[in-house]
């Protein structure tokens, strides 16, 4: 996801950079798909929870 990578680059270049609009990522469907795919592949993803 290019926007997320852009935040990472700006924060790496300037430790004092303030991400004032990062909440807009929560409107991106792709973010949820990427997160789900990274969680479902974990070994304990199907372990029963509390």
| Residue-wise pLDDT tens digits, 14-34 | 888 888 888 888 888 888 888
Residues contacting 1, CB < 8 A, separation 6+: 28, 30, 31, 34
41 in any annotated domain: no
> pTM of the predicted model, to two decimals?
0.49
What's the start-to-end Cα distance of the chain, in Å? 32
**Which pLDDT score, from 0 to 100, does residue 5 have?**
85
Q: Which of 5, 39, 28 is nearest to 49 (CA)?
A: 39
Q: How many domains is the chain partitioned into structurally?
A: 1
49 in any annotated domain: no
Residue 3 in contact with residue 11, Cβ under 8 Å?
A: no
29 in any annotated domain: yes
Give the residue numbers spanning the domain of 27. 2-36
**Which pLDDT score, from 0 to 100, does residue 46 have?**
65
Return the structure tokens found at 3.
């926007």
């Amino acid at each position: 996801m290019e926007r997320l990578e852009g935040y990472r680059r700006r924060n790496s270049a300037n430790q004092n950079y303030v991400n004032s609009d990062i909440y807009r990522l929560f409107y991106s469907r792709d973010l949820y798909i990427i997160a789900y795919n990274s969680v479902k592949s974990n070994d304990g993803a199907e372990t029963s929870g509390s």
